[in-house]
Structure formats: C-alpha cells, structure tokens
A = this chain, B = another copy of it.
Amino acid sequence: MTARRVVATGTFDILHPGHLFYLEESKKLGDELFVIVARDANVKHKPHPIIPEDQRLSLVAALKPVDHAMLGDQTDMFLPIERIRPDIITIGFNQMFDEKTLSRQLEERGLTPRIVRIGKFPGDYLCSSRLVVQRIITKRGHDHHHVSENEREP
C-alpha cells in the first residue's frame, strides 16, 4: 500500500494553537502531511501577512506534524496540488473554500482527492492571527515608541 498523502493549506501568519490543531488533525488522516503556505502576493481576502512568506514557511516546516512544507505557486494555486497528487485535502474550519467548487476545479485537473473540513479547535486559546494582532494593538499600541530594535529577546 502506498502512503496516503494529505495536503493542508493556509497563511499561518502568526502561529497559534488553532494552526497546530488543524495540522495535527490533518496529519491523522494519512501518512504524509504536505503543507502549502500561501504566498504574500496571493493573500488578498484579508490583510496582508505581517510575517514574510519565507519566515512563515520555516516555522510551519518546523512543526512536528508537518512532513513537507512549501510555498504556493504565485499564479496557479493548483500547481503544487497537481505535483503532490494528494489522497486528501483538508480545509480549516474558517477557510472560505466551497467544497463543491473546489472539488469540481480539482476534477478538471484529473484530481479526485477526498476533501475534509477540520473542525474548530476546542480550546479557549487565542486562536486567530487576527485576534493576536488585535491584542497587540490594544496592549502595546499606546506605547509603541518604547519598542526598540536594541532590546531583542530570543
């Protein structure tokens, strides 16, 4: 039997336990997890990422459930999926794909993976890059002149 390939996708702008849950649940569905990280230029449906694409990629690649991580294609989002030929594609609970449309688009390319929507992370963590951004602005926005490049932290 060949290894079952799973593809997960996302921006992964500021990593949080919701991302981790999505990737762990995705990995459980197969043997090898491939993660396609959205290109900076292709994130148009929400604010531009804070963290540059290479950096988002390197952190995703360092997570235990992830076997292979790569940046998406800037002009054809289906190209990496054609190369991987996954058995399963997972969608995050809040990703705005319509499963039927996606399925049809993939079929036009000769791909018939099972599409699985992963549920919401059950914890009460700060599970949204956007909410992290909001918290930063609320907590630190008033005194950002105190932020200095000389006071780095590991």
| A interface list, Cβ under 8 A from B | 10-11, 13-20, 22, 46-48, 50-52, 54-55, 58-59, 62-65, 92-95, 125-141, 144, 146-149, 151-154
B residues in contact with A62, CB < 8 Å: 20, 63-65
Q: Report Cα–Cα, A135/B55, bound state, in Å.
A: 14
- The answer to whether A154 and B59 touch (CB under 8 A), given A50-B139, A133-B140, A137-B144, is no
Q: How many copies of this protein are present in the complex?
A: 2
> Do the beta carbons of A94 and B152 come within 8 Å of each other?
yes
3 tightest A-B contacts by CB? A92-B154, A128-B152, A134-B147
> Do the beta carbons of B126 and A152 come within 8 Å of each other?
no
Q: Report Cα–Cα, A135/B138, bound state, in Å.
A: 14
B residues in contact with A153, CB < 8 Å: 10-11, 13, 46, 92, 94-95, 128-130
Which one of A20, A22, A153 has the highest number of Cβ atoms from chain B below 10 Å of its Cβ?
A153
> Do the beta carbons of A125 and B55 come within 8 Å of each other?
yes
> Do the beta carbons of A151 and B46 come within 8 Å of each other?
yes
> Do the beta carbons of B51 and A126 come within 8 Å of each other?
yes
> Do the beta carbons of A127 and B147 come within 8 Å of each other?
no
Select one of B55, B126, B131, B151 contacting A16, CB under 8 A. B55
Minimum CB–CB distance from A16 to chain B (whole Å) comes to 7
B residues in contact with A94, CB < 8 Å: 152-154
B residues in contact with A20, CB < 8 Å: 58-59, 62
- The answer to whether A126 and B15 touch (CB under 8 A), given A20-B59, A149-B131, A154-B92, is no
